[in-house]
Amino acid sequence: MIIQYNSSIHNIQDKELLSKLVFLSYHIALYKTISESMGFNNRDISVDEIYDFIQDLKEDKNIRVPTLERIEISFCFNILETMGICHPR
């Protein structure tokens, strides 16, 4: 799947999904970096781990977080896996 930049995206749902995917990609990378710095190298990451991590950020750190469903996290993992970046559990 190739996503081409198109500045004329007018569908609000597409914009919301893309925003969520960018948010998730960043936080999945952050979680992976933190895990590796703690000695958990090359370990698979689950959808539930990312969901809990983001909920903790929302509740404990008071970070503004979009409303996310586990299926959206799974979709993001699928894209990252297709790109060879991340392998979920």
> What are the residue boundaries of the structural domains of the chain, listed by start?
29-89
pLDDT, tens digit (0-9, with 9 covering 90-100), for 30-65: 998 899 899 988 788 899 999 999 999 888 887 888
pLDDT of residue 51: 95
Q: Which tokens go with 68?
A: 């996310």
Structure confidence at residue 71 as a pLDDT band (50, 70, 90): very high
Give the C-alpha separation, 27 to 21, whole Å.
10
Which position has the higher pLDDT, 69 or 42?
69
Give the C-alpha separation, 72 to 62, whole Å.
21
For the cut 80, the answer to whether the pLDDT of residue 82 exceeds it is yes
Mean residue pLDDT of the chain comes to 83
Give the C-alpha separation, 7 to 28, whole Å.
26
Name the pTM for this structure. 0.76
